[in-house]
Structure 1
Amino acid sequence: MKKLCAAMLLCLPVAAFAYPIEVEKHIDGVKLDATAYDTAYDIGAITLDNYGQVPAACKVTFRNGPEAPRVRRVNVPAGKRADVTSKFNRQIIKLRVTVACSAE
């Protein structure tokens, strides 16, 4: 009986759900890397790493289906990193992030 219960528990799906994230980058004149994370079911996050010698002015747009896009503007100094987050009103099914950066 114990073996049957253990086998049934192993068949249950894991409760950790991750949503797909698409990142589109438009980078002009800076060496910048973007890494996206699924922080919570309704929060999207992205880390911007500036590897160049000039500061970058970035505009990050988060899109989650029918909700209005969330726009965040951030300045990333040379050799530094910046975290950008956005909270939505409903659960994220698929997150689309557009990063547009240019040299300051």
Structure 2
Amino acid sequence: MRVALRLVLNVLAWAVSIPVLNVCMTALERHRILPVSGFVAAVVALVLLLWAVAIYWRCVPSAPSIVARVAYLLIFVAAMVLVGLGALWAAFWTSVSTFGL
């Protein structure tokens, strides 16, 4: 599998997991199984952040110079922020359509 395809598929899986996690956590909270407190939300955010670091570590190709590596990092972070914002938007509307306001 080519590096670019592997990167895109991993980022897509990361983005799709955000609405899925949101719906699952909301369902657990609404059924009073697991209250989504600050600690639970922080753990979920940490797992997503560690997953993003793993995607960068495994899928972004190495560069011969430090300047190129920093450029890859900045582009990756900017792309992940934009994808993450889109995933949060999708998570909000998925949660609203599933559970209502």
TM range (shorter): under 0.3
The structure with more radius of gyration = 1
TM-score of the two chains, using structure 2 as the length reference: 0.23
Higher strand proportion (structure 1 or 2): 1
